[in-house]
């Protein structure tokens, strides 16, 4: 058996805080009191040094019940085979009455939950009509899809209960009269319900001590992680109950002691030394290379890679090699002739385009046209060219092929053609002399 961890909460300090809260509640005006003589909740605020990594829900049994007799509890049960919804309700109510459980006021089978509480408004109404929800452990995994997210947002999800337990009354009262601690990984403050203002001071104090004992055993990192404990009501100031010392920080490794600082300094010095060594080695390597280059006095010659000649250049070289050399006789000033061999590059003669006579006429400028016209007038008509030039004659345009007639539609084919009437010729009357 593991040794139980002791808490450091002082019982006298707890009783003082509980008396102060009850006295504050009595001094309040009658207008601020809750309706129907309901009592105000008393809760313990827990503050933690280190936020846990995972969310967790811890059930805490209490020696004195925190819920009054008027508290209403709802129980979700399994559908019994060969039974209707009404028969299953009667079966479980009879079972609870046999074990002496009176605080469960409503029994809802799973079939009824699916049919009647399917709309959004019905789920909200169900959440507000009961103080606590219990569920059979056999159907606990099926409820989240039917209940909705509002139960989990307000942290009032149903607690799983074993309805086949031998001592069913003790099993149910442990959940009905107990409390829960919801640990989240998003903050360092949590709230635990411990009682209400209608209870006695000693009963509230016993409940607080029971809660602190369970927290010391089941809290992540146990009692070392507890920083502060405060007692308060829903509308009062938080009164301190417990305040931890800095020794717990040393055990958690959160306090920076001089030994820890020295270790960190040593690690930092080692890192700087290694970096400095690497930098020195790099500097030495670069200086040694420079010295070797200076001693040799020769620079490294880069390797030249031959560039392939383009195909057009190769073809031009082949053409140049076939060009013949021509000797030209040049006369000097003294009269002597010298034969000089000159490589004449014969350029490819472009093919001349045939020009028609009509184009030649068009190319003649306006001045020349006038002269030509005057010369032709001076010539005799016999000298003129009698036959006309073929080039000047205009070419007859080609006949464009007639487009095929449009295809007649069926309606046009079927329509009867009306015969055209011949017009009567007018009789010519003889003119009078």
For residues 45-67, one letter each, b for 16 or more C-beta atoms within 10 angstroms of the residue's C-beta and e for the rest, the string is bbbbbbeeeeeeebebebebbbb
What counts of helices (H) and strands (E) characterise the chain? 14, 12
Place of tokens 């009191």: 33
pLDDT of residue 330: 41
Helix (H) or strand (E) holding 150: helix 150-153
For residue 114, what are the contacts with CB-CB under 8 A and spacing of at least 6?
Answer: 146
User: How is residue 97 annotated by DSSP?
Assistant: H
- Same topology between domain 1-27+36-66+178-266 and domain 67-176: no
Question: How far is it, in rounded angstroms, from Cα 19 to Cα 201?
Answer: 6
CATH of domain 1-27+36-66+178-266: 3.30.190.20
If you compute the radius of gyration of the chain from its CA atoms, what whole number of angstroms results?
58
Question: How far is it, in rounded angstroms, from Cα 425 to Cα 409?
Answer: 37
Give the CA angle between residues 208, 214, 218 to the nearest 5°: 145
CB 24 within 8 A of CB 161: no
CB 107 within 8 A of CB 77: yes
pLDDT of residue 341: 47
**Could you tell me where the DSSP H helices lie in 219-322?**
247-252, 258-296, 311-321
pLDDT of residue 196: 87
DSSP secondary structure, 8-31, as one string: ---HHHHHHHHHHHHHHHHTS-GG
CATH of domain 67-176: 3.40.50.790
The domain segmentation of the chain, as residue ranges, is 1-27+36-66+178-266, 67-176
pLDDT of residue 339: 46
Q: Tokens for 335, please give them.
A: 């009269």
Place of tokens 């003294």: 334
Of 214, 238, 206, 234, the closest CA to residue 42 belongs to 234
CB 236 within 8 A of CB 21: yes
Question: How far is it, in rounded angstroms, from Cα 161 to Cα 175?
Answer: 8
To the nearest 10 degrees (0 to 180), the angle between helices 11-26 and 201-218 is: 130
pLDDT of residue 423: 59
CB 176 within 8 A of CB 187: no
Question: How far is it, in rounded angstroms, from Cα 192 to Cα 241?
Answer: 14
DSSP secondary structure, 136-199, as one string: ETTTGGGSHHHH-SHHHHTT-PPEEE-TT-SSHHHHHHHHHS-EEEEE-SS-SEEEEEEEETTS
Question: How far is it, in rounded angstroms, from Cα 37 to Cα 68?
Answer: 12
Local confidence pLDDT in tens for the 433 residues of the chain = 345 567 778 889 999 999 999 998 888 755 555 455 567 889 999 999 888 888 888 889 898 888 877 788 999 999 989 889 899 999 999 999 998 888 888 999 999 998 898 888 888 899 888 888 999 999 988 888 888 888 888 888 898 888 888 888 888 888 888 888 888 888 889 999 999 888 899 999 999 999 999 998 888 888 888 889 999 998 888 999 998 887 767 666 666 666 666 777 778 877 888 888 888 888 888 877 777 766 665 555 566 666 666 666 555 555 555 544 444 444 444 444 444 444 444 555 555 555 555 444 454 555 555 556 556 555 545 444 455 555 444 555 555 555 555 555 555 455 555 555 555 555 666 665 4
Place of tokens 């949590």: 190
The strand pairing partners of 179, in sequence order, are 60
pLDDT of residue 340: 46
Give the CA angle between residues 247, 254, 232 to the nearest 5°: 70
Q: Tokens for 23, please give them.
A: 């006295």
Phi, psi of 181 (to 5 degrees): -115, 115
C-alpha neighbours within 13 Å on the C-beta side of residue 242: 23
User: CB burial class (10 A; 0-12, 13-18, 19+) of residue 331?
Assistant: exposed
Of 87, 94, 74, 61, the closest CA to residue 136 belongs to 74
Give the CA angle between residues 179, 181, 187 to the nearest 5°: 155
Question: How far is it, in rounded angstroms, from Cα 262 to Cα 257?
Answer: 9
pLDDT of residue 334: 44
pLDDT of residue 74: 92
């Amino acid at each position: 058996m593991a040794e139980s961890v002791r808490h450091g909460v002082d019982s006298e300090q707890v009783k003082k805080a509980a008396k102060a809260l009850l006295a504050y509640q009595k001094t309040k005006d009658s207008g601020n009191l809750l309706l129907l003589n309901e009592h105000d909740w008393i809760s313990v605020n827990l503050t933690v040094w280190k936020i846990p990594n995972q969310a967790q829900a811890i059930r805490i049994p209490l020696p004195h019940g925190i819920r009054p007799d008027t508290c209403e509890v709802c129980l979700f049960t399994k559908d019994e085979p060969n039974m209707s919804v009404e028969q299953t309700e009667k079966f479980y109510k009879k079972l609870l009455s046999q074990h002496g459980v009176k605080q469960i006021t409503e029994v809802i089978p799973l079939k009824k939950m699916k049919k009647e509480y399917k709309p959004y408004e019905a789920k909200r109404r169900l959440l507000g009509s009961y103080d606590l929800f219990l569920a059979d452990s056999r159907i606990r995994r099926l409820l989240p899809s039917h209940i909705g997210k509002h139960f989990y947002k307000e942290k009032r999800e149903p607690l799983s209960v074993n309805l086949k337990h031998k001592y069913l009354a003790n099993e149910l009262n442990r959940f009905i009269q107990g409390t829960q601690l919801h640990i989240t990984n998003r903050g360092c403050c949590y709230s635990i319900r411990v009682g209400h203002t209608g209870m006695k001071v000693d009963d509230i104090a016993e409940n607080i001590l029971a809660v602190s004992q369970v927290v010391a055993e089941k809290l992540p990192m146990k009692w070392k992680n507890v920083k502060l404990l405060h007692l308060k009501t829903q509308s009062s100031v938080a009164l301190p109950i417990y305040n931890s010392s800095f020794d717990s920080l040393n055990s958690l490794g959160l306090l920076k002691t001089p030994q820890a600082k020295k270790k960190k300094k040593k690690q930092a010095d080692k890192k700087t030394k290694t970096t400095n060594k690497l930098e020195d080695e790099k500097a030495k390597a670069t200086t040694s290379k420079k010295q070797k280059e200076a001693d040799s006095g020769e620079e490294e010659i880069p390797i030249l890679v031959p560039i392939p000649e383009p195909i057009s250049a190769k073809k031009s070289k082949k053409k140049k090699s076939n060009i013949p050399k021509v000797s030209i006789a040049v006369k000097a000033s003294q009269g002597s002739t010298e034969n000089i061999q000159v490589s004449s590059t014969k350029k490819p003669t472009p093919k001349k385009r045939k020009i028609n006579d009509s184009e030649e006429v068009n190319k003649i400028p306006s001045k020349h046209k006038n002269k030509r016209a005057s010369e032709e007038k001076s010539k005799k008509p016999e000298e003129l060219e009698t036959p006309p030039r073929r080039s000047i004659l205009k070419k007859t345009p080609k006949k464009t092929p007639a487009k095929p007639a449009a295809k007649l539609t069926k309606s046009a084919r079927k329509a009867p053609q009306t015969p055209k009437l011949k017009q009567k010729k007018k009789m010519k009357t003889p003119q009078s002399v």
